Structure 1
Amino acid sequence: MKIKDRLLGLSLLVLISAVLWIGFGKTVTPVPDTTFTTITGKKIALHELRGKPVLVTFWATDCPGCMEEIPHLIDLYRNYHDRGLEIIAVAMYYDPPNHVVTFTKDNALPYDVALDLQAEHARAFGDVRLTPTTFLITPDGSIALQKIGAFDPDDMKTRIETLLKG
């Protein structure tokens, strides 16, 4: 009976430790080492943007939530780019490149737009399949936020301001 009680107590201790470790342990997700090619041919290596907050958003021209976010992305770019924020909009592999280029020009998107023709960036960021999916990257190169679906503009502004102050 004593051995059974000890095993039960040990199991309980392991379970409590695991719950505390999962609940309170801060996990840092590093940013993938990837280089985007924009629709203008510019190369952007994420590791070269260290020291700045970066917003990477996966989108498509036929995505209603993405279209809803674009005015907010433009606003974020206009308000925070001069202070260091970089925004990279990554068009999904299934979005025809001519649609992306036309849309970008017609809507005068001020931030960088990249194509992901082979879905390599989507895979690098954890196999992104849903749009919009947005990642907020800290200046030290870790992922501070991953949001599937439209982000809350006020929350995003607060997060970006915090990163710019730090």
Structure 2
Amino acid sequence: MKIKPILMFLVLIGLIGIAVWTSQKESGSINESEKPAESFQPVKGNGQTGLKPGNTLPDATLTSLEGKTVSLKEFRGKKVILNFWATWCPPCRKEMPDMQKMYSRHKDNQLEIVAVNLRYTEKSTKTVSDYVEKRKAAFPVLLDSDGKVSKKFQAVSLPTSYLVDSNGVIQKKMIGALSPGLMTEFIKRSK
């Protein structure tokens, strides 16, 4: 009968799965006590440069769509949603209207949304400019023309966002589209 080899194969696959899960849990890849991805918990800064919550946001200088040179340190003193995106990215397209609504509602409350486009992945700067204009995005759009900034910020999957408090301390790194609820919670709970 052929059932015995199939059953042995399924048991083997199950054992491999358990071994992988146990290995990830022991290495810290899986943390059962973590909050869900949509939860925002403020953290206190430790003054170190880095890309994890609690680290100070590294500086970077980029060019805006208008051709102006902009340094990220210019946004200190405001809560910042630093978002890495591209026009061809479906989750990026999904979150942009929500980001614009949030920006319109809270820009006077010391909130800045800074959208860093991965220009090196786009057909042209005009593609980006047309996209932003069509969606009436009023927040600053900066261009990462050579990929150095997205590499520095480890923005490999798009969108990648950093929620940064007014002291320049990273509160959360999010991979995937930001929900309006998470943005609202960040605005309310961070300093």
TM-score (norm 1): 0.78
For residues 87 and 43 of structure 1, the distance between their equivalents in structure 2, rounded to whole angstroms, comes to 17
Letter of the structure 1 residue corresponding to residue 167 of structure 2: D
For the residue of structure 2 that corresponds to 1:72, the secondary structure is helix
For residues 160 and 114 of structure 2, the distance between their equivalents in structure 1, rounded to whole angstroms, comes to 12
Q: Where does residue 176 of structure 2 map in the other structure?
A: 149
Q: State percent identity of aligned pairs.
A: 33
Letter of the structure 1 residue corresponding to residue 94 of structure 2: E
For residues 117 and 43 of structure 1, the distance between their equivalents in structure 2, rounded to whole angstroms, comes to 13
For residues 74 and 83 of structure 2, the distance between their equivalents in structure 1, rounded to whole angstroms, comes to 18
- RMSD of equivalent CA atoms: 2.0
Q: Where does residue 157 of structure 2 map in the other structure?
A: 130
For residues 108 and 152 of structure 1, the distance between their equivalents in structure 2, rounded to whole angstroms, comes to 19
* Aligned partners of 2:97 and 2:135 also within 8 Å: no
For residues 141 and 130 of structure 1, the distance between their equivalents in structure 2, rounded to whole angstroms, comes to 23
Structure 1 ranges of 4+ moved more than 3 A: none
CA 1:71/1:138 → structure 2, altered by over 3 Å: closer, same or farther? same
Q: Where does residue 94 of structure 1 map in the other structure?
A: 121
Q: Where does residue 71 of structure 1 map in the other structure?
A: 97
Q: 2:167 aligns with which of 115, 119, 140?
A: 140
For residues 122 and 174 of structure 2, the distance between their equivalents in structure 1, rounded to whole angstroms, comes to 20
Letter of the structure 2 residue corresponding to residue 75 of structure 1: K
Q: 2:68 aligns with which of 42, 46, 60?
A: 42
Q: Where does residue 6 of structure 1 map in the other structure?
A: none
Of Structure 1 and Structure 2, the greater helix share is in 1
Tell me, which stretches of 5 or more residues in structure 2 are unaligned?
1-27, 34-42, 45-52
* Aligned partners of 2:61 and 2:71 also within 8 Å: yes
Once the two structures are superposed, residues 122-150 of structure 1 have per-residue CA deviations (whole angstroms, 9 ceiling, x without a partner) of 0221x211111111111111111110011
Displacement of 1:75 in angstroms is: 0.9
For these two proteins, the number of residue pairs brought into alignment is 141
Letter of the structure 1 residue corresponding to residue 184 of structure 2: K
